Structure formats: C-alpha cells, structure tokens
Amino acid sequence: MARLRRLPPIHALLAFESAARLGGFAPAAAELCITPSAISHRIRQLEAQLGEQLFERTASGVRLTDAGQHCLVGVREAFDRLASLSRSNPHDDVVRLVVGTPPTFARNLLIPRLPEFQRLWPDIEIELAIGAPMQDRPERHDVDIRFGSGLFDERLTVKLYDDRLDVLVSPAFVQRHPAVTRPAELAGLELLRSPLVPWLPWFRAAGLPWPEPQRGTIFTDLGALLEAAASGLGLAVCSRRIAERWIRDGQLILLFPDLEVPSTNTYHVLVERDLAPRPEVAAFTDWLRSTFA
C-alpha cells in the first residue's frame, strides 16, 4: 500500500513556532488555547521525528538550539507559503478543498473536529461531498475518506486509525434479555447485518463456528445500522470508534466489552498522486492523521 510522504504533524509545528516566537511553553499554550504540557508533548514529538533537540530548557524558560534555529527558518518559510495561497488568487481569498466522505464519518467524527482545522488553517475552505459508502464507482475528490480494508484503487492511501469490533445493543434489549452473558447465547436473536462490517470475524474471535448470517435486516450505512440497534430492532456488530457517540449518549451498550476483536475494516484517506504535494492537501491529510491517530 502506497503512503503519503511522512510530514511533521502540523499541530507540532505550530507549537514549536509559537514557543520559539514567544520564548516559552506557557505563552505558546495561551496563544494556542491548550495546556503547557500539551505544548511540551508536541515539541517532544517533533524532536523525536526530526532526531534533533530543538530547545534547551532553562530556569527562565526555553532557548532555541542551533538545530532549532535552522528548523524555525524552514517552518516559517513553509507557513508563509501556505499563508500566500489565498493571495495567489485575486478573485478569491480562500483555497477550496473538496473532501469526499461517508455520511456517518462526517457527522460523528469529522464535523465535530473541523473547527480545530478551521482555526489552524483559516485560508483553506472545506467543501464536504457526502457520498453513499457502497457505490460501485464513487466520485473522486481532492481528498476522499473511505471505509474498508485499505485496498481501494491506485491512489495514495493512508489508514487513519486501527479499530475493534463490538456487539452493540439498546438498553431495552439488555432489560429484555438479562441472561445473555456469553457469545453462544446470541443464537436465535435478531442480528442486524451490513456488508461493511460482517459478523464472521467476530464469530471466529468469539470461538463460534457459525457462518455469516443469511437472514436479518441489511444496512449499507453504518449510521443507519447503529440507529436501528439503538431503536431495538436487533443486535449490531460495528467498529467501536464510529459507535462512540451512541455509546456515550447511552443509546447503545457494549454487550461483551472484554472481548477484544480487531477490525479488518476502518477509515482511510485517499489522495491522487499528483495532488499530494499541494499545500492544502498536505495540510488537511496531515491534520486528519494527527487528529485520528
């Protein structure tokens, strides 16, 4: 699987530049609205990736090392180039980036975090193109977020995060079936189905010699699958992270929380090879990776 170029995380570069300009971690933290410990963590992350010590820690604050001085020049040049994107087009003061995304990822994971990206990159305007996840030939955009195993097409593809599978049920189901405490006791219950997340991997991890269910309501969207489970229509198996909102709000309960089952499918970011060097594409894909890692 091809990968995007390994770029330093944008949030780490911002922390570094702010600390260097303001002369300390505390003022940088105040400027970026995070804690000083978060500034320190991001700079250590950057130092580890670059293999260089960027600051000398002193009693009165921090001071740039020679390597830090050299790095600062490059970082400011890169930021200046990104800042000039809007000025390069006299007819528009923003650069538009079209992002294709499935609806459940957009609604539950991406949109709640977009204000952070807009604060970091106010000159990049995001246009979300919501697409059905099961299209045979999905439309391509500047950046596409897709759910699957990572084998999509010839574009550069990067996994956003690893995930696990869980069986999810409504609180009403638990009240109706208090005796269901072992995986084998799912026999005869209504199992909701989705081609995006089959049951078979979970069955195997649970030690159940069962085939993929052939009966039960089918959903081609994970959000609809989870809403159906929350409504009491049946049991769903789904990746944990996409179900976080339903779990947090108490609409869904993990039926077997101690059973660790890695998910073979998760979300990936796809970029056309000739678009990857574009500053706005690199900024957004790097932000996605650092946000969801």
pLDDT per residue as tens digits for the range 141-161: 999 999 999 888 888 999 999
Q: Show Cβ contacts of residue 57 under 8 Å, excluding neighbours closer than 6 positions.
A: none
How does pLDDT run across 223-277, given as a tens digit for each residue?
999 999 999 999 999 999 999 999 999 999 999 999 989 999 999 999 988 877 7
**Overall pTM surpassing 0.75 (yes/no):** no
Question: Strand runs (DSSP E) across 36-186, as ranges?
Answer: 55-58, 61-64, 95-101, 124-130, 143-148, 156-159, 165-169
Query: Which residues pair with residue 96 across a beta bridge?
Result: 125
Rg, C-alpha atoms of the chain:
23
Distance CA 236, CA 221 (A): 12
Highest mean pLDDT of the ranges 23-32, 37-46, 80-89, 222-231:
222-231
In this predicted structure, the answer to whether residue 1 has a pLDDT above a threshold of 70 is no
pLDDT digits (tens, 9 = 90+) for 69-98: 889 888 888 887 776 664 555 445 678 999
Sheet of 253-254: strand order equals 236-239, 165-169, 253-254
Provide the residue count of the chain. Answer: 293
